[in-house]
Amino acid sequence: MTNLAALLTATAAEHPGRTAIVLGDSRLSYSRLDQASNQVANLLAAGGVGPGDKVALSCPNLPYFPVVYFGILKAGATVVPLNVLLKPREIAYHLDDSDAVAYFAFEGTPDLPIGEWAQEAYEDSDKCRTLFLMPTAAIQPPWADQPTVFETADVSDDDTAVILYTSGTTGRPKGAELRHRNMRDNALVGKEIFAADEARPDTYLCVLPLFHSFGQTVVQNGAVAFGGTLVMLPRFEARAALKVMLDETVTFFAGVPTMFWALLGALDDRVDVSALAANLRVAVSGGSALPAEVHKDFRSRFGVTVLEGYGLSETSPVTSFSVYGEQPRVGSIGVPVPGVEMKLIAKDWSEVADGPDEVGEIAIRGHNVMKGYYGRPEATAEVIRDGWFRSGDIARKDADGFYHIVDRAKDMIVRGGFNVYPREIEELLMTHPAVSLVAVLGVPNDSHGEEIKAVVVRKKDHDDVTEADISAWAKERLAAYKYPRIVEFRDSLPLTATGKILKREI
């Protein structure tokens, strides 16, 4: 098995009638998913697209995504998934930066006109030569007349399967080149870390965007590898998610912390929580730290311990995880997954000495580490040395080998010469009875260089709590240089398409 698409062909051969995808009332079997992806591969081949070519894809969580994704792979080409919120100028940049020769885009909706943006970007692109618009289900897709049989292209383990673009918080987005073996082996570790078993297939709620590495590997590719069912929600909404989880007996939920927070907030007397808990086998959180209070509340209400993990687009993404069936370390990102090594390093790449109080930047080596940033050898050399990838995340390792994220190196606040890690303060503030959600960041200050600011969303019926109350409460519990002198209340916090708090917009 070399081509990542072999995950689908193998499962379709073994379980052709098993349900692969659910969207509302529609059902798609593994046999039909395999055939539809063959049609996409034939469409591409007819247009001269093959091994080594790049093909972009803009699509929310709809059956179109896995159909086209695996079709591109079967043709031997590289998938370039794009964030569906990108505007025309941004899309054109990604098309040209990745050298995409073809582009599949869902036509979209009135409030998210992906097709219109795609058309404009395609016309502005210097390199992309073909645009395929994917219409609503009532209209036949562009590959409808293609044969349903295709011989999957032979590729090597080191050929690029997917180019995932980073968020670009430190400059223009860069494309992480992920090999077939990176993506395949990372999906297959689900057997060890989630006890995935095709004899007892899971039903996955697919709410994480599939254009993102977390949703792609853990949910889509993990489900396909182990014969599971993908229950799709094009857009996350907590009440709708709870209903679908109950209706479709969802056993596997993966999300970012804000999704867990939203699910808990949507529970009321109309929700049969006991039935949800009876079905749910695995709950997985990643993307950012899950507040300890949310962790505790979810276990209390749903009867499942949330497994926290860690990864990046550049690492396919899974690097470490809590171990299924073992007592978790709340607040820990777990231990390296099979086939992956981690260590803590200093700025000069030297390894930080072991010790529970030693802090360093996480470096990663293993089957999951990317080939490099597409077309950017200098940027690649900055982050990869001797097979080790430096993450930009600051962590410590406890005596039992469990890693604990301290913060992003770039998010660290330096106040009066002291290093302050926002995550520590956020974890504390989340335990305040009036705090529903919080983001902590540094703001310029003449005397201290930076001052600490907390932007807080209050819980319902706590409007009487003031900014001074929050600051004073934190002062009692934190060192003098750590507590937030500035507190601002907001009704909501801006989130990325993957559900992370978008601090740069606060």
d(CA 80, CA 58): 9
CB count within 10 Å of CB 2 equals 17
CB 246 within 8 A of CB 272: yes
pLDDT at site 1? 63
pLDDT at site 499? 74
* Spans of the chain below 70 pLDDT: 1, 138, 167-171, 408-409, 416-419, 447
d(CA 297, CA 80): 38
Distance of CA 154 to the CA centre of its chain: 28
The pair of three-digit structure tokens given for residue 400, joined into one six-digit string? 């039992």
Q: Which domains does the chain have, with CATH numbers?
A: 28-180 (3.40.50.12780), 412-505 (3.30.300.30)
154 secondary structure, DSSP code: P
pLDDT at site 417? 62
pLDDT at site 424? 77
Per the rule left: phi > 0, alpha: psi between -120 and 50, beta: everything else, 461 is: left
Q: Which residues of 369-387 are buried (b: 16+ CB within 10 A; e: fewer)?
A: bbbbbbeeeeebeebbeee
What is the per-residue pLDDT across 445-461, written as a single tens digit (0 to 9) for each? Answer: 876 778 999 999 999 88
Planar angle of CA 89, 92, 97, nearest 5 degrees: 125
